[in-house]
Amino acid sequence: MRFEARLLLARAAGLSVEQLVARGGEAAPAPVVATLRALTARRVGREPMAYILGEREFWGRPFKVSPAVLVPRPDSETVIEAALSLMPDRTRPWRMLDLGVGSGCLLLTLLCECPAATAVGLDISDAALAVARSNAEALGVADRTRLVLGDWRIPGWEQALDGPFDLVVSNPPYIEASAIDGLMPEVGRFEPREALDGGPDGLGAYHRIAAAAHALIVPKGHLVVEAGEGQAPEISRIFGESGLIVGAPWKDLAGIDRVVVAQQ
């Protein structure tokens, strides 16, 4: 809580945390106090810190966020680890696709790590694409990024993406619809429902991705997806039954099978 309080005070004062510490003995002006109270009230209401501050660090880089996108999480960095392990030559002109691009934290990180790569990001939300576009510009990769509005629930959605790709990544909705209202308030009340709701069993998006995989991935290309706790075996089965070659899941820092990797 002290850490969050320091971040909120720094934001209210328009200072970096380092500047705030250096000026810690000074009295806060009345406008700063008023702003701090407003920010604190939002946090007391369980609004995520990332939305209050407007950004979140991911893979060592700052990403702008808004309530239109999921808050980037350390668990999702496992997707980056797995993807980069499949692309040992980062100088190659890889073609990559992110399904459900959100803030762009996955796709844009991969573009930063692979300077000759190009990428397409798909999302159902115009507002989410605006956040991803802003992050692409801030990170200097906008010229290698194409962002597409689309809905994978509509037949033929994959045809607008100009595939196939060397790598497809995704952190799709994977929460069971009936469980969303029981999530911690920071998630269930504030994060975009369309980015959480994976249908009755949480696996709807994986079925749609598997059905389109052969059109989206080049021969020997890879699919790397994030999974909810306990879902990796069923996702692996779905991908295997679609004809993909499924590897061992990747564990996150908590030891949970977090990422499923498959090859065309």
What are the CA-CA distances from residue 5 to residues 1, 8, 55, 190 (Å)? 6, 5, 16, 20
Asked whether the predicted pLDDT for residue 219 surpasses 80, the reply is yes
Q: What is the pLDDT of residue 212?
A: 96
| Cα–Cα distance measured from residue 261 to residue 150, given in angstroms and rounded to the nearest whole number | 24
What are the CA-CA distances from residue 159 to residues 105, 133, 195, 202, 239 (Å)? 24, 22, 22, 25, 20
| Cα–Cα distance measured from residue 101 to residue 134, given in angstroms and rounded to the nearest whole number | 13
Facing residues of 123 across strands? Answer: 149
Residue 241 dihedral angles phi and psi, to the nearest 5°: -70, -20
What are the CA-CA distances from residue 45 to residues 36, 48, 214, 216 (Å)? 14, 9, 45, 42
Task: Break the chain into its structural domains and give their ranges.
Answer: 2-44, 67-263
Facing residues of 245 across strands? Answer: 263
Tokens of 200: 């009755």
pLDDT tens digits, 153-171: 898 899 889 889 999 999 9
pLDDT tens digits, 109-128: 999 999 999 999 999 999 99
Confidence of residue 3 (pLDDT cuts 50, 70, 90): confident
Mean of pLDDT values over 224-238: 98
Asked whether the predicted pLDDT for residue 25 surpasses 80, the reply is no
pLDDT tens digits, 77-96: 999 999 999 999 999 999 99
What are the CA-CA distances from residue 91 to residues 112, 117, 184, 196, 259 (Å)? 11, 8, 41, 34, 24
Q: What is the pTM of this model?
A: 0.92
Q: What is the pLDDT of residue 28?
A: 79
Q: Which helix (H) or strand (E) holds 166?
A: strand 165-170
Asked whether the predicted pLDDT for residue 145 surpasses 80, the reply is yes
Tokens 């762009």 sit on residue? 104
Asked whether the predicted pLDDT for residue 26 surpasses 80, the reply is no
User: Helices (H), strands (E): how many in the chain?
Assistant: 10, 10
Asked whether the predicted pLDDT for residue 261 surpasses 90, the reply is yes
Confidence of residue 213 (pLDDT cuts 50, 70, 90): very high
Integer distance in angstroms from the first to the last C-alpha of the chain? 46
CATH of 67-263, one of 2.130.10.10, 3.40.50.150, 3.40.50.300, 1.20.1250.20: 3.40.50.150
Q: What is the pLDDT of residue 16?
A: 77
